Amino acid sequence: MENTTALITGASGGLGLEFAHLCAQDGYDLVLAARNENKLNQIKKELEEKYHISVSVFAVDLSKKDSALDLYRFTKEHDLSIEILINNAGFGLAQCQ
Ligand SMILES: NC(=O)c1ccc[n+]([C@@H]2O[C@H](COP(=O)([O-])OP(=O)(O)OC[C@H]3O[C@@H](n4cnc5c(N)ncnc54)[C@H](OP(=O)(O)O)[C@@H]3O)[C@@H](O)[C@H]2O)c1
């Protein structure tokens, strides 16, 4: 049986990366989105090796117009069926001060 898939935005660091580890630990395949493609690819490699799940990454600036639609299209083009959304992208408190 195929794993179920969780989509996590803001997954290149902070809370989003922690959520990615927790979902991977529970056996979910993942779609990870954030701006930093290099970090996302490093995380993909690490999580796939550690948890034996499948990780797709999509580098995107979600503050840009139509970016959410681009992400949606990415999931459709790759036949990824999303069961869980963790819509976490944003900035931490330190950057607000
Ligand atoms: N930490 C807290 O105490 C706290 C409290 C209340 C709410 N929150 C909220 O929880 C979320 C995560 O917080 P955090 O502390 O983990 O923040 P963080 O460490 O700054 O991480 C933010 C994540 O979001 C991504 N991101 C930021 N802007 C983005 C954009 N325009 N498009 C796509 N991805 C973007 C970042 O990756 P890239 O730089 O690679 O894009 C990173 O992966 C935020 O939405 C924050 O507002 C946090």
Q: Which pLDDT tens digit goes with each residue over 31-69? A: 999 999 999 999 999 999 999 999 999 999 999 999 999
For the beta carbon of residue 22, count every other beta carbon within 10 angstroms.
Answer: 13
Label residue 91 by pLDDT band (50, 70, 90): confident
Ligand 1 binding pocket mutation candidate from 91, 93, 95 (most atoms within 8 A of CB): 91
What atom of ligand 1 comes closest to residue 91's alpha carbon? 20
Report the greatest alpha carbon distance in the chain: 47
Q: Whose CA is nearest to atom 7 of ligand 1?
A: 92
Using the mean position of ligand 1's atoms as its centre, give its distance from the Cα of residue 18 in Å: 12
Q: What angle do CA 50, 55, 58 make, to 5 degrees?
A: 140
- Domains in the chain: ranges and CATH: 5-87 (3.40.50.720)
Identify the burial level of 52 via C-beta atoms within 10 angstroms of its C-beta, where 0-12 means exposed, 13-18 middle and 19 or more buried. exposed
Q: Which pLDDT tens digit goes with each residue over 72-82? A: 999 999 999 99
Q: Whose CA is nearest to atom 13 of ligand 1?
A: 92
Q: Which pLDDT tens digit goes with each residue over 10-23? A: 999 999 999 999 99
Question: What is the reported pLDDT for 33?
Answer: 98
